[in-house]
Structure 1
Amino acid sequence: MKLLKTLSLALTMSVTPALSQAKDDAKSNPFAQRAADIQSELIELRRDFHRHPEVAGEEVRTAQKVADYLDGLGLEVTTDIGGHGVIGLLKGSKPGKTVVWRADMDAMHSDEPDPVSFKSGIEGKRHICGHDVHTTIGLGIAKVLSERKAELAGNIYFLFQPAEETLHGAQAMINDGALDLMHADEIYGAHVSPLQVGVISAKPNMVFADWHHLEIRFNGNENTAEITALIDQIIAGQLRTNTDIQLWKPENYLHPEYGVANPNTVYKDYLLLSQSAKTRDTNQQLSIRTAFLTTNTDDLETVIIDLKAKLAKSPYADRLININASQRVPAVTNNEELTRASRAYLLNLGDNTEIGTHYGVLPFMTDDFAYFQQKIPGVYFFLGGSNFQQGVIAAPHTPNFQVDESAIEIGVRTFAALLSERAQR
């Protein structure tokens, strides 16, 4: 817990210079009061999801509650898309664009004690990534918007995605026709983050680093240690940073002076080796696997060319079979125009939400929201969920993960306003 408090303090300090308070003369958020009115209802809904966590592929109860809720609002509901995915359509009364709000639903495996009073009722499973909050916010947005349907333009889809934690759900929904159903112009989503509650952040272009995997296969399984060391050496020679700082450490990427929220961050251009090469012997063949993180998508080709050239000059040249590259999931990459337009609108919304930005690319695994962004221009936001004064730290995938539930009201009022604005032509 001490480490998490330290990291959160660093994040708070690093984000503060980039924040911009809404202008005093800005227009008021038309959804703020209604979001406040239904906050207690939404908190109970979130706590119900939290008590009944369902991991990827098992989101039966969650999906049913989501579908029932949307149906009760009068939305057109489609279920069982890409597994347990649910899509609800809210049709506005005026011509406009088609925009999508995505929320993920699945929980995670965890044997750590649940620190909240509304504890998980399923042993070994918990919501420690905030998807219970994401699902609730999505439903809250649908509710406040549906109540003002006569004022809305365009079509607003609410996409509730299963299996984000396994990075399979988004592609499964796409394969099952989700995009063909929606014909969307824009897509938006948000993830709970360790930011202080009341802060929302987004940046244009790449948000998370590209994570590439390489498999290098050789005939025979002799000289395993020597070949593995050579692969590590070649990859290490391609590493690129402009600093001696260990970029993968949380205390560094949250640092106020050179972390991701500082305009002068050291996280703008790098290629990092994420792990040492791993070996596997199969049928008299040696398979060596390694991975790296990069902010430049051209690095993959460069690394492969270098590997082939140096292995061709090595004692193992005649044993090389092939080099295969793979990417478990692409990097979340925000559309530049939509990000700037969205931030500009939110800065002028005038509901006391602080709109921040970050400048660096985060050096860890991405979100499969990226698959939707490959097909539809979109923006991925970070929603503050921590309350440092109360010791509530919303650091996903950590044992003591908690969320200040006022983030629900903030998410509903802010993103309801944004979606209604973006749906207007």
Structure 2
Amino acid sequence: MSVIDDASALRDDLVRLRRALHAEPEIGLGLPRTQEKVLAALDGLPLELSLGQGLTSVTGVLRGARPGPVVLLRGDMDALPIQERTGLEHASRIDGAMHACGHDLHTTMLVGAAHLLAGRRDELSGDVVFMFQPDEEGCDGAAAMITEGVLDAAGRRADAAYALHVFASGVPHGVFSARPGTTMAASDGLRITVRGAGGHGSRPHRAKDPVPVACEIVLALQTLVTRQSDIFDPVVLTVGSFHAGTLRNIIPETAEFDATVRTFSPEAKARVRQAAITLARSIAEAHGLTADAEYLDGYPMTVNDPGETAFAAETITDVLGEERFEPLENPLPGGEDFSRVLREVPGTFVLLGAGDGRTDNHSPLAVFDDAVLTDGAAVLAELALRRGQPA
């Protein structure tokens, strides 16, 4: 039987696991119930298992029958602070938490790959590291796992690393997609606090109102992006949080806002960092106020190795057919902490269409199709199996 056939035989078990994970999502670095489900699903497999110390990660190592490379496969496990509104039978039972980005599918596909590879251990050249990672969404779980040694879990540094990520829209259903080079943007933060002098709302001339100044800075940042950034090396800057004041007739002392900044090159990042800080401080000064401006480094750009990306494309088309892989034309402005792994190990980050195209990831209405689970598990397993074969 082929790996695809073996994966199909696992379908019911994978669907049950995925729906159990979806119904009980957890957020952040501490995912005890998710960890428990993963360990139960891996029980009985010939894996060397270790648990994270500062986070509820699971790392498994499968030793192949013959010498060969170390291949790392990653699945992120965390959910988002979103109230689910899908109405699904297996919808989240946890108030304010939802697997709206498909990480429950990633975890399940990695469990499936572990079962498939354990069943073909005699065919496996080299070792496979299974990286079950908490908190991709906010606290840099990949960096924490790297610090705790996941890249060297097999006793030596991984030679190649692969991850899949499902998308509710933007990628055709059931199609895998990847590109060499920059694939996802750097994801950074910009925090601005405008400081003025409070007073009565009826007498603004007696105060130094930070609210209109902060609003002016927000609008000026949008102009900065369009007028100081190369359209072929774009910048995305979005203000997602703005806070000021307590009552409508009180001029507050401060107004503050936070923005996300997405860039696709080190040069663009350096330009927007300096320009945004200068702009905020200068506008505030022009109005007789001051501004504290802080640029917060986040996830770096996700950069796919050209050779590993070509290998992944060849594997997918060989296993599933040419129609199941499409080159990704342009990088995506989302951020991803698998970038941390790819800075240390050559590998590739592959997209997989798993929705109906009507909603985006991170939507309370996002729905992902269980039908992709077996193909995702099979692709991960095939990447590990074939990476150890002679060219």
Q: Shared topology, TM-score over 0.5?
A: yes
Q: Judging changes above 3 Å, is the alpha-carbon distance between structure 1 residues 42 and 303 closer, same or farther for their aligned structure 2 residues?
A: closer
For residue 411 of structure 1, what is the aligned residue in structure 2?
376
How far apart, in 1, do the equivalents of 2:320 and 2:283 lie? Answer: 64
In the alignment, structure 1 segments of 5+ residues that lack a partner are: 1-28, 244-265
For residue 298 of structure 1, what is the aligned residue in structure 2?
267
Give how far 1:369 is off: 1.7
How far apart, in 1, do the equivalents of 2:84 and 2:278 lie? Answer: 47
| Stretch of structure 1 that moved more, 320-329 or 406-415 | 320-329
How far apart, in 2, do the equivalents of 1:151 and 1:120 lie? Answer: 39
CA contact (8 A) 1:339 1:379 kept: yes
CA contact (8 A) 2:25 2:92 kept: yes
Q: Show CA shifts across 1:32-55 (max 9, x none).
A: 111111212222222222233223
Q: Match for 2:333: what amino acid?
A: P
SS in 2 for 1:420: helix
For residue 202 of structure 1, what is the aligned residue in structure 2?
178
Q: Show CA shifts across 1:314-349 (max 9, x none).
A: 782897686532123223222233212321332233
Aligned with 2:331 (options 354, 361, 365): 361
CA contact (8 A) 1:70 1:88 kept: no
SS in 1 for 2:331: coil
For residue 364 of structure 2, what is the aligned residue in structure 1?
399
Query: How is 1:301-340 mapped onto 2 (pairs within 5 angstroms)?
Result: 301-306=270-275, 316=285, 323-340=293-310
Q: Would you say how many aligned residue pairs link Structure 1 and Structure 2?
A: 369
Length-normalised TM-score, structure 2: 0.81
How far apart, in 2, do the equivalents of 1:109 and 1:168 lie? Answer: 16
Aligned with 1:97 (options 69, 82, 92): 69
In the alignment, structure 2 segments of 5+ residues that lack a partner are: 198-207, 246-251
Larger RCO: 1 or 2 (CA < 8 Å, sep 6+): 1
For residue 79 of structure 2, what is the aligned residue in structure 1?
107
For residue 116 of structure 1, what is the aligned residue in structure 2?
88
For residue 187 of structure 1, what is the aligned residue in structure 2?
161
For residue 204 of structure 2, what is the aligned residue in structure 1?
none
Query: How is 1:51-200 mapped onto 2 (pairs within 5 angstroms)?
Result: 51-182=23-154, 183-194=157-168, 195-200=171-176
SS in 2 for 1:163: coil
Q: Match for 2:375: what amino acid?
A: I
How far apart, in 1, do the equivalents of 2:117 and 2:183 lie? Answer: 29
Aligned with 2:15 (options 35, 40, 43): 43
**How many percent of aligned residue pairs carry the same amino acid?**
28
Q: Show CA shifts across 1:145-191 (max 9, x none).
A: 11111111111111101122324322222232323434212211111
How far apart, in 1, do the equivalents of 2:56 and 2:285 lie? Answer: 48
SS in 2 for 1:109: coil
For residue 354 of structure 2, what is the aligned residue in structure 1?
385
Q: Judging changes above 3 Å, is the alpha-carbon distance between structure 1 residues 322 and 419 closer, same or farther for their aligned structure 2 residues?
A: same
Q: Judging changes above 3 Å, is the alpha-carbon distance between structure 1 residues 86 and 308 closer, same or farther for their aligned structure 2 residues?
A: closer
Aligned with 2:221 (options 222, 235, 254): 235
How far apart, in 2, do the equivalents of 1:353 and 1:394 lie? Answer: 23
What do you get for the CA RMSD once the two structures are aligned?
3.4
Length-normalised TM-score, structure 1: 0.75
SS in 2 for 1:316: helix
CA contact (8 A) 2:194 2:256 kept: yes
